[in-house]
Amino acid sequence: MIEKTLKGKPAYWIWLAFLGMFMAVGVACYARQYLFGLGMTGMSRDVSWGLYISQFTFLVGVAAGGVMLVLPYYVHNYKVFGKITILGEFLAIGAITMCLLFIMADLGQPTRALNVVFHPTPHSMLFYDMIVLNGYLFLNILCGWVILTAERKQVHPPKWIYFFVYLSIPFAVSIHTVTAMLYCGLPGRHFWLSAIIAPRFLASAFAAGPALIIIACLILKRVANFDAGKEAMNKLVTIIMYAALLNTFFVFLEVFVGYYSNIPGHKHSIEYLFFGLEHHGHVYNNLVPFMWTSVVLNFGALGLFAWPYARKKNEFLLGLSCVMIFIALWIDKGLGFVFAGFVPNPLDEITEYIPTANELGITLGIWATGLFVVTLLYKIAVGVEHEIEE
């Protein structure tokens, strides 16, 4: 099936070359960082995790979002998703690839990464994160490949594969739960120390993942003559809407707890995110514009989703609302959540984090790599689909 990636229209090659350019820049930037150290980034003693870990956190969600297709299709036998379930699985592969690359980019001693395996440490949440992330990657490759191969031969997939398909469902939930546990089990980081982090992560994941799949379907319809079907898209929109509403509700609960209890530790990070934090006469607020953009996009997208014309009749508005919700959630989790956890630091001091150009180069490079992987996989999936139709 791999041969399907080798034939394509010029637009396909131009797109791959475009991504390849960013990948090359990413490699060059990473070489600089590898030789100098993580001092090439904007991270500091006080904000010790930056873009890499925040992107990792967000992308684990995108990967987990694929389960919103797998679960209805395989467990509830929701046939409408038959054509696009593979897109969910392949998106998960791309997203996990990015997650692993972001982790590697973030390590101070990347050559020692396997120490996590050589010295397994069951009391560290990163140990479990390694297991579930790699497990989920493996499951998606296995299930996606076996089922697509069967589809191509127009036979039923082998029975044993369903064991792995069902197994991938709890794995999808666990990757994001364990990622939330990296944060919510740390004493002294009030913003993260909240039992709602895992449900909130899952809610935003189940909106962001499917939103990206709708965007992909709309693009594939135009460039690859692949139609996911109206009903499938409508159902996805419903899923996104409920998930995004839940996420909004959970964020509101965090804001309520912080402000109504008036406990400084619970309030400070939220204040920093939305209003700026005053400290010794200086107001620290570099995330404020981002967070309000996120709020506006979030409610804007919810409004568009609620409007039947936009979600059913107008593909442009549907795509726009998906892009909006995706960006809103990316800002919320892929920027704000991680950065604000370090403000203020345990000594009640404030250091702001601003990524460097080199760091942005690596980040874009990894995103491009992920899109590259997803493009190739979608090319295969769509190619097989067309082959059957012929």
The minimum distance between CB 63 and another protein, in angstroms, equals 20
- On whether the CB atoms of residues 78 and 72 are closer than 8 A, the answer is yes
Mark the segment that binds another protein (CB under 8 A) among 110-118, 201-209, 211-219, 372-380: 110-118
Which residue number, 103 or 180, has a Cβ lying nearer to another protein? 103
Residue 81 or 128: which CB sits closer to another protein? 128
User: 29, 93, 99, 182: which one contacts another protein (CB under 8 A)?
Assistant: 182
CA triple 184-189-193, angle to 5 deg: 30
- Taking CB under 8 A as the criterion, the residue among 115, 225, 238, 293 binding another protein is 115
In angstroms, the Cα distances linking 287 to 269, 271, 325, 354 are 11, 10, 18, 10
- The answer to whether 124 contacts another protein (rule: CB under 8 A) is yes
Q: Decide: is 351 part of the binding site for another protein (CB under 8 A).
A: yes
CA angle 51, 56, 62 (to 5 degrees): 125
- Stretch touching another protein by CB under 8 A, among 227-235, 244-252, 339-347, 360-368: 339-347
One of 108, 160, 195, 390 touching another protein (CB under 8 A): 108
| Window contacting another protein (CB under 8 A); options: 70-78, 179-187, 220-228, 237-245 | 179-187
Q: Which is nearer to another protein, 108 or 308 (CB)?
A: 108
Are 111 and 262 spatial neighbours (Cβ–Cβ below 8 Å)? no
Q: Write the interaction track for another protein spanning residues 46-75; mark x where CB under 8 A is met and - where it is not.
A: x-xx--------------------------
Q: Which stretch binds another protein (CB under 8 A): 55-63, 75-83, 180-188, 308-316?
A: 180-188
Stretch that binds another protein, among 43-51, 57-65, 171-179, 235-243 (CB under 8 A): 43-51
Q: Quote the CA–CA distance of 57 and 38 in Å, as a whole number.
A: 19
- Angstrom distances, CA of residue 185 to CA of 12, 105, 360: 45, 24, 29
Q: By CB under 8 A, tell whether 113 contacts another protein.
A: yes
The DSSP 8-state label assigned to residue 1 in this structure reads: -
Q: Is the peptide bond before 158 cis (omega within 30 degrees of 0)?
A: no
Specify the 3-state DSSP secondary structure of 277. Answer: strand
Cα separation of 241 and 385, whole Å?
29
Q: Which stretch binds another protein (CB under 8 A): 34-42, 153-161, 284-292, 372-380?
A: 34-42
Other residues' Cβ atoms within 10 Å of the Cβ of residue 49: 18
**Can residue 306 be called a binding residue for another protein (CB under 8 A)?**
no
Report the 10 Å Cβ neighbour count for 370.
24
From 2-10, 172-180, 185-193, 203-211, give the range in contact with another protein by CB under 8 A: 185-193
> Shortest distance, CB of residue 125 to another protein, whole angstroms?
7
State which residue, 37 or 158, has the beta carbon closest to another protein. 37
Amino acid at 20: G
Q: Six-digit token pair at 185?
A: 């089990």
Q: How far is the CB of 52 from another protein (least distance, A)?
A: 10
Shortest spacing between CB 108 and another protein, in angstroms:
2
Question: Residue 128 corresponds to which tokens in the numbers above?
Answer: 């479990």
- The answer to the question of residue 130 lying near another protein (CB under 8 A) is yes
CA 96, chain centre distance (Å)? 9
Give the Å distances, CA to CA, from 312 to 115, 216, 280, 293, 305. Answer: 51, 17, 52, 26, 9
Measured between alpha carbons, how far is 318 from 295 in angstroms, rounded to an integer?
Answer: 19
Interface pick for another protein out of 14, 31, 75, 107 (rule CB under 8 A): 107
Give whichever of 231 and 348 is closer to another protein, judged by the CB atom.
348
Residue ranges of the alpha helices (H) in the chain?
A: 10-36, 51-65, 67-70, 85-106, 115-118, 125-153, 160-184, 197-223, 230-261, 264-274, 288-306, 308, 315-331, 338-340, 357-389
Residue 121 interacts with another protein (CB under 8 A): yes or no: yes
Q: Which of 23, 43, 214, 328 binds another protein (CB under 8 A)?
A: 43
Q: Under the rule (CB under 8 A), what is the footprint of another protein?
A: 36-39, 41, 43-46, 48-49, 103, 106-110, 112-113, 115-127, 130, 182-183, 186-189, 341-342, 345-349, 351
